[in-house]
Amino acid sequence: MTRKIYVRVSIGTLAKLGLLDFKYSESPTTAYLLQYSPIGCSGGCRFCLQSCRALFRSSDRLGRVTWPTVDLETLASSWKSVFTRVCLQTVIKPGFHLEALEILRFIRSFEYVKPLSLAITPVPKHILEEARKLGVDSLGVGLDAATKGLFETWGKPYSWDLYWLFIKRGVEVYGAGNVYVHLIAGLGESLRELVYTMKRIYELGGRVALFNYINEKGTSPVSIQYYRLAQIARLLLEQGLNPDEYIDYEHLKTVRDVPVNRLEEAFYTSGCPGCNRPFYNESPRGPIYNIPSRQMLDAYIERLREELGSIGVHL
């Protein structure tokens, strides 16, 4: 490497590597890296703390998590093979797609085996093909908004149509089931609209990574009942079932038993294999929207049963 490259690294990742003295109750199973830009991401997403145009810009945070800046050489010298995968999330800046490939190559110089994930905005197909050669097996696409109107209202970069073309392109390169489309529940969509977009993603061969909206205070205004139903809808689609047959979208409840074994798996963090992103979208005090581990599920089970009871589900 001819120049020093910096990335942001989640505090949980740094703590697990011994680079930060931070006590965590839930260990991240994926190493989370975020491309660095001193002025933030040039994308205009109003919900994102990395956006240079966000009303509440705080450049060291994403979600509820702090991401200190570390140079890649320091990361390499402190690396331990204690994660199931490495995830690189990109920001939009001049040449970001080429720098992302450079970062992936460097990661491969000290992490030879573990699979890589790349979360990126629309880029040419050859970038995706090169990333795959470097060991990326899962692609993340931040569609985020469930409708075209909300996509535009929240200031997403590029266009709604281009994102859908990019999802198709991603499936062409990585194969069906390996493209994870990020959707944020609580941006103003109805549950019916959210599920409609989920269905469209699965029809294209993609999968859904579900997030709940986090506001500038680091809290989530999303109804837990709404989110549990969205999680159930996602699991039904994973099983090849139609959520319309099980969910009353207007009254936010189920209308029949959900025919899925181990229904509790619906409420784990969704995303690439091995992604648990503990407390990225929720306070440890609860509610726990995305449950990061079996240990947390066991500790939370009674509260989860109460949440599900209010939508007609018995666990």
Tell which residue, 187, 174, 103, has the closest CA to residue 143: 187
CATH code of the region 6-309? 3.20.20
C-alpha to C-alpha distance for 227 and 212, rounded to whole angstroms = 7
pLDDT tens for the 315 residues of the chain, in order: 568 999 999 999 999 999 998 888 899 999 999 999 988 899 989 999 888 665 444 468 888 889 999 999 999 999 999 999 999 999 999 999 999 999 999 999 999 999 999 999 999 999 999 999 999 999 999 999 999 999 999 999 999 999 999 999 999 999 999 999 999 999 999 999 999 999 999 999 999 999 999 988 889 999 999 999 999 999 999 999 999 999 999 999 999 999 988 999 999 999 999 999 999 999 999 999 999 999 999 999 999 999 999 999 998
Domains of the chain: which residue ranges? 6-309
